[in-house]
Amino acid sequence: MTPQAHPLAPFLQPARRWIRTTLRRLPAPLAEFVLFGLKMAWACLFGAAMLCLMIVTHFVWPQHPLIYRYDFLLFAALVIQALMLWTRLETWDEMKVIALYHLTGTAMEVFKTHMGSWIYPEPSLFHIGGVPLFTGFMYGSVGSFIVRAIRVFDMRFSHYPKIWITWLVAGAIYLNFFSHHYIWDFRGLIFIAIACVWFRSFIFFRVDKKTRAMPFLLANCLSAFFLWIAENIGTYTHTWRYPGREWHIVTWQKMGAWALLLVLAFVTVTLVVKPQPPNTEAERAGGYRAWWRGLYRRSTSFDSASR
């Protein structure tokens, strides 16, 4: 596992070399699995930092603070963002994505809280229509994860739909988050449209040396599940709350909303970071049959290595 040249955050190169050296002691499939987890955690850096702050401040914040908890979270998010840019953990293109998704997310939050979908129960100085300004960074962290994952895993996309079609789907998603309060909720049709538009799309990514593949729709569902877990953390820490109810596990239906938001976030990312095609013709032509064959080969090789 020879570490590759890394254009960002060069001061972390010794840590990267140490991780690679340590992983050499493990069986190759297990080492790749561990490295995949580490890279995913690295891609989630901004979102994970925000979740940790929500958890810590929930337990330690005093009843009569000098600064409101929500305002502290806003200040902390700004500091983290500045540090990530200064240390080159994040590029300016990634920052553009975060800012764009921050704005669209904040606009939706203002509308949703006005309609009573959820509330922010604590006071703050920096807010718009009852929505504390740090909430935009929670949406921005989703965009940050996507654009960082594309870079960290050198992601490429086969059979990616025409950009103008994805814009239409994203526009319908965003519109429905507002319009379903007044007219028929047509998210069922949107799910069908997403399945039709992205059904053939595959994500090709590189954990170490070998290129792996995953259907775009599967990646979206898995990401939605982890965002659903993050939402449970947010409601448990009373960062936001659904009105009229004590804390409970957020319903599974919310995973559908997160799946839609992830598609919206991904299309937003493509405004700045264009989806790149696979490196080889074989990858461009690959489909579900080739993917299942690859899964079977990897499972048998892992069993052999474990024995």
3-state secondary structure 119-134: ECCCCCCCEECCEECC
Q: Of 101-105, 254-258, 297-301, which range is least confident?
A: 297-301
Choose the weakest-confidence range: 102-116, 226-240, 287-301: 287-301
Edge to edge, the sheet with strand 156-158 lists 156-158, 202-206, 211-215
Helices 187-198 + 253-270 axis angle, to 10:
50
In a domain, 9, yes or no: no
H helix runs in 65-134, sequence order? 69-86, 92-114
pLDDT category, 114, cuts 50, 70, 90? confident
**Looking at the domain assignment, is residue 23 inside a domain?**
no
Higher-confidence residue: 287 or 148?
A: 148
Burial of 92 (0-12, 13-18, 19+ CB in 10 A): exposed
Q: Strands, E, within 197-305: which ranges?
A: 202-206, 211-215
The Cα 53–Cα 124 span in angstroms is 16
Question: What amino acid is encoded at 75 in this protein?
Answer: F
Residue 1 covered by a domain: no
Give the pLDDT confidence score for residue 279 in this predicted structure: 77
On whether residue 11 sits in a domain, the answer given is: no
Q: Indicate the DSSP class of residue 241.
A: B
206: pLDDT strictly greater than 50: yes
| Across 10-16, average pLDDT | 72
Residue range(s) defining the domain that contains residue 265: 28-306
| Residue 257: pLDDT over 70 | yes
pLDDT tens per residue, range 144-176: 899 889 988 999 999 999 999 999 999 999 999
164 within some domain: yes
Question: d(Cα 212, Cα 218) in Å, to the nearest integer?
Answer: 14
Using a CB cutoff of 8 Å and minimum separation of 24, what contacts does 127-134 make? 127/70, 131/106, 132/70, 132/71, 132/73, 132/74, 133/74, 133/106, 134/70, 134/71, 134/73, 134/74, 134/77
**Is 3 within the bounds of a domain?**
no
Residues 199 and 268: their CA atoms lie apart, in Å, by: 19
Which range of 10-14, 37-41, 86-90, 171-175 scores highest in mean pLDDT? It is 171-175
**Contact predicate 277/209, CB 8 Å:** no
Evaluate if pTM is beyond 0.75. Answer: yes
Count structural domains, the chain: 1
In a domain, 12, yes or no: no
**If DSSP codes are grouped into helix, strand and coil, which group holds residue 269?**
helix
Range with the poorest average pLDDT among 45-59, 90-104, 128-142? 90-104
